[in-house]
Structure 1
C-alpha cells in the first residue's frame, strides 16, 4: 500500500505518533490485520476496525517476474519509497538495493517516478487516500 501525503499525516496523527517510515508501515499493517475490508466499487476499498477507516484507491499494476522488475529499475537514481507487503518491508532506499532483499517470484509491480514510490507485492497495490473516523454504516458492518 502506498500513501498520499494527506493519508500519511493522518496516520501519523491518529495511529503512530511517529514519523519513521518503518514505524508508520508497521502500525498500518497492524491496523489492516485487525480490520475488515469493504469493497465500495471497482476503484475504492475501505478498511475499517469499527472506530477508524482507511480509504484507498486501487492502482493499475503489471504482473512481472523479479528479473524483469530488476531490469526496469536498474537505471533509477536516488532514493524511492519502496514497499513489499508480503515481507512487511517498507524502506526509503535505492530500488536496486531494495530488490536484492526480495525472493524470486512473480509480483505486481507499480512505480511512480514523480512521487518516487515503488510497490512490489502479490496483490494489486492500493493508494491510501485518507484515514478518518468510521462512519455509522462502517461501524455497523463490523459489529454484525
Structure 2
C-alpha cells in the first residue's frame, strides 16, 4: 500500500497520532489485519473495521524477479518511500539499498519517480486515497 499526501494526513490524525512513516505504516497494517475487504469495482476497494473505512484504488504493476527489480532501480540516488508489503517494512531510503534487503523471489513492482515511491510485494499495490468514518452499510 502506498499513501497519498491526504491519506498520510488522515492516518496521522485518526490512527497513528505521530508523523513518522514507520509508525503510520505499522498502524495501517494493524488496521488491515482487523478489517474486512469490500471490492466496490475492479479499481476501488474499501477496507473497514466497522468504525473507519480506508478507501483505496488498485495500481498497475509489473511482476519481476528481484534481480530485474535491482536492475531497474540501480541508478537512483534519491531517497524514496519504499514499501515491502510481505515483510511489512516501510522506510525512506535509496531503492537499491532497500531491494537488497528483500528476499529472492518474484514480486509485484511499482515505481513512481514523480512521487518518489516504490512498492514491492506478492500482491498488486493499492494507493490509499483517504481514511474516513465508515458508512452505515460498511458497519455490519
TM-score range, shorter chain: over 0.9
Q: Higher helix proportion, which one?
A: 1
- Taking the aligned partners of 1:98 and 1:64, their CA distance within structure 2 comes to 16
- Taking the aligned partners of 1:9 and 1:44, their CA distance within structure 2 comes to 20
1:31 and 2:31 correspond: yes
Aligned pairs (5 A) from 1:1-144: 1-140=1-140
Q: TM-score scaled by structure 2? A: 0.99
Q: TM-score scaled by structure 1? A: 0.96
Instruction: After TM superposition, give the deviation of residue 100 of structure 1 in Å.
Output: 1.1
- Taking the aligned partners of 2:130 and 2:87, their CA distance within structure 1 comes to 24
Instruction: After TM superposition, give the deviation of residue 85 of structure 1 in Å.
Output: 1.1
Instruction: After TM superposition, give the deviation of residue 135 of structure 1 in Å.
Output: 0.2
**5+ long unaligned stretches in structure 1:** none
Count the aligned residue pairs: 140
**5+ long unaligned stretches in structure 2:** none
| SS of equivalent to 1:30 | helix
